[in-house]
Amino acid sequence: MKLFFSFWGLLSVLSLQFFCCEPNQEAKSPGDIMIGGLFPIHESVSKTGQLIDVLIRFSVARLAQSLMMVHAVEEINRSGELGNITLGFHIMDSCADVTTALRNTLSFMKMNPNGTDCQHSPRPPVTAVIGDYYSEISIAVTRHLNLEQIPQISYGATSGLLSDKTRFPSFLRTVPQDDHQAFAIVEILKKNNWTWVGVVATDGEYGRYAVERLRHHAAKNSICFAYINFLPEFLVDVSLNDSIAETVKNITDREKVSVIVSFAKPDHMKSIFNNLLENDKGKHKVWLASDNWSQAADCLDMKTWSLNDVGTVFGITLKSGDTSKFKRFLRNLDEDSDLCQNNPFLSDFLKRSPKASFQSKIEELANMSYPYAAFSIELAVRAIAATVKDLCVDKQCNISTLQPETFRDALKSAKFSMEGKKYSFNDYSDVDSGYDLILWRSSSQNTVDMSYSIGRFDIETKRLYISNVIDQIVRNKCVYLCFADSAQCYKCDENTEYSDEGSSSCKKRLDLFLKWGDPYHITLLAFTSLGAMLTLTVDVIFLARWNTPVVRSSVGPICIVLLFSLLCTFGSVPLFGARPSDEKCRARQVFFGLSFTLSVSCILVKSFKIILAFEFDPVTQDVLKKVYKPPAIIALCMAGQAVVCTVWLSYKAPQKASEPLDEKRLWFCNENSYPAFGAMLAYIGLLAILGFVLAFKGRKLPQCYNDAKFITFSMLIYFIAWIIFGPVYKNVKGEYHPAVEMVVIVISAYAILFCQFLIKCYIILFKQEKNTEAAFRQEVREGFKASEVTGCEVQMWNETTVCVRQKLQFVWLQSVPDNYTLHLHPAGKNTEHGAFSPPFPCRWNEKQQRNRSYRLRVSMFI
């Protein structure tokens, strides 16, 4: 039964449209183009048990702002600039409450449950909406209005989130977004050397975004926050009193933090001041007020406290306009005028305090007429009027069928003027009008004068223009506190020390680098040590079996140089770990670059030897023989890398560096010149590619002593490792950054060590029967048979027969050891045509024999 009555009560509320205490409370004036108005005339609502919202906290200032819209509309109509077209208005109260605002917004839309005529109308009841003041409400309302593409122009919602036109395509505003305000506040702090401040903000879209941007800009200027307190967005929140108490405690506990930036609402500030000023530690502060309360005179109870108790209040205000015309409009109102009688918001205000005169109430309204609101609201009305002129005066249009979407698109590109200056919406549908900087002063009537301007901030130039008066104020009122606080809190060397939020002492930053005891470092060094020991072991094995066919066929001297270079490559790895120093930073890359260049140069020489086995053109072969000088090739390759490293060290040598990282200091080697670092690696890569191409051509040589396939495989591993290295090296941060290069160096060295020497060592140690001259002779014969050229006469004596053509293709000659001789016999004859000693391949001068078949006899010489 209770559920039934609750449901029936809900239907009654929706059907009767109970808007903020009274059903259908609204202010309307007819016109050809209707403009909706949404103002927080009441700053809060209280829920009752009967599902009816009761208004609380009537705002005279917001009522005055709704009347500014009325005045601007009437001025446009009187001017005749729209010809026969008139503007009308339909004003609702958002009550500073999202739910109430959404419910009242239905009156502007075709989906209005009470507007049956509207549902069948070709367009919504209003063409555009001006309001709301608060970002939290505007975010919800614009999403609602966007269902029917109705444009909304806010005169005060400054959250940067609303600049996202993907999420809020129908939202525009005649004020700049809060990122600019945060930047301006930081400029003020920086100018006065206020680097240790407190922050108070509302816990909503406006406050959270403003603090986030304040943090962003403050971090770039070494400005820190002693505390940040967020207050509930809505004044009826049950946790509000606790949040106010916590904020007051933070301010009084940190007595030396004398500068406070506040993005709170006026009522929040009123509660803070009433509680804070009871404690002497909370007095005489410097307050930087955001546009949210910088012109809210009622936030300070002048009957109880004086401005001197508060301290100094600087205010950031939106661009100010001329309020004289509006005040004249108010003072010319008659108590029996249509506006006073038919505007329920105004009539309710006039009925309050029956003892007060009509004129005194009008003066109260005039005194609460904020210049920024006069500018932003009138500018919004003029933007709408300019759009109407563009669409329906300069051109012809059917007003009855004019769609909000068409009007919205035209509004975004409209040009409009005010007070002799031209304006338009930017790409984010904002008007970057700038900010004024004001100073609160006590007036003779024991009130606060907020009209004293001391500067401005220009958004286009990002410059703060401020008068010298602020220097006098700072010097007289708060320089001691600010600089005393700075002296205690900002002697911290940010490279070596840090301070906790709210702390008055410095703490030592922990040094961060790849330490010797780190498990990852230990693992890398273990693999490095193992690789070095294996390299030495292979070296010993090769020297001990120097005269065996396996060692001699591997070009023994080159292998020894290759093993030495691998040992140096492994030796360069430890230089990348532990605490960096200038010497280590310079040595590690150069040592690795030169040692690994030597390794790749040796592989290039071995690959070059393979290409000689393929080229039998006499001219080309002569050239290759002259070029094939292993010591010269290796020296030339090393010289190129030495030049790169010398230039690097001479102009921009690597050096140790550090950067703060939270509570630690990260030490690292700054390469200083990434082009030089890249040139060193690219040079090695170029040599590796050349060796890979040469070796790849000989991949099909006989198995015996054929290094080509092993060179190819080792270079493939090298390429894969270093290709992966690039993106990983760029993205890995912190102490493990040098470990990335260490891993790649170890992998590259192991690839060469295993591919070049593992099989050879296995044969030397465990397959000694294959490391004999007879076994080699048999391998060579099998290699010859597998490599015969088809179409030749085959005479199988004890050796292999080959075919001599215009281009001899002795693909097997790479397999013949250096201590063998080839004997060439004409097929079918025992006579020897010629004997050839290494290096192979060989040629002879008797051209008439080229088309004959020959038999090769292999003999070994000592």
- The residue whose two tokens read 């903020």 is 20
User: Which pLDDT does position 383 carry in this prediction?
Assistant: 95
**Distance from C-alpha of 378 to C-alpha of 386, rounded to nearest angstrom:** 12
Q: Which amino acid is at 380?
A: A
Q: Per-residue pLDDT tens for 45-66?
A: 765 544 445 556 788 889 999 9
- What confidence score (pLDDT) does residue 214 get? 94
Report the pLDDT value the prediction gives residue 12, as an integer from 0 to 100: 32
Q: What count of other Cβ atoms lies within 10 Å of the Cβ of residue 31?
A: 18
Query: According to the model, what pLDDT value does residue 415 have?
Result: 93
What pLDDT shows up at residue 713?
86
pLDDT (0 to 100) of residue 488: 39
The pLDDT assigned to 430 comes to 93
How far apart are alpha carbons 302 and 311 in whole angstroms? 13
Distance CA 87, CA 381 (A): 10
DSSP string, 217-240: HHHTTT-EEEEEEEEESSTT-TTH
Taking only the tens place, the pLDDT of each residue in 672-724 is 888 999 999 999 999 999 888 887 776 555 454 457 778 888 888 999 999 99
Q: Show the low-confidence residues of the chain (pLDDT under 50).
A: 1-21, 23, 49-52, 475-477, 479-490, 616, 702, 704-705, 784-821, 825-862
Amino acid identity at 586: R
Supply 786's token pair: 């597998």
Task: Name the nearest CA neighbour of 387 among 176, 145, 171, 85.
Answer: 85
Its CATH architecture, for the domain 178-318+434-473, is 3-Layer(aba) Sandwich (3.40)
Domain boundaries, the chain: 26-113+122-175+372-419, 178-318+434-473, 519-776
Q: What is the pLDDT of residue 505?
A: 62
* CA 89/CA 57 separation, integer angstroms: 25
Looking at the domain that runs over 519-776, which CATH code has it been given?
1.20.1070.10
pLDDT confidence of residue 660: 80
CB 231 within 8 A of CB 201: yes
Write a three-state SS string for 110-158.
CCCCCCHHHHCCCCCCCCEEEECCCHHHHHHHHHHHHHHCCCEEECCCC
- How are beta strands 87-93 and 53-58 bridged, if at all? unpaired
Entry pTM: 0.54
Q: Same topology for domains 178-318+434-473 and 519-776, yes or no?
A: no
Strands 128-131 and 152-154: parallel
Provide CATH code, domain 26-113+122-175+372-419. 3.40.50.2300
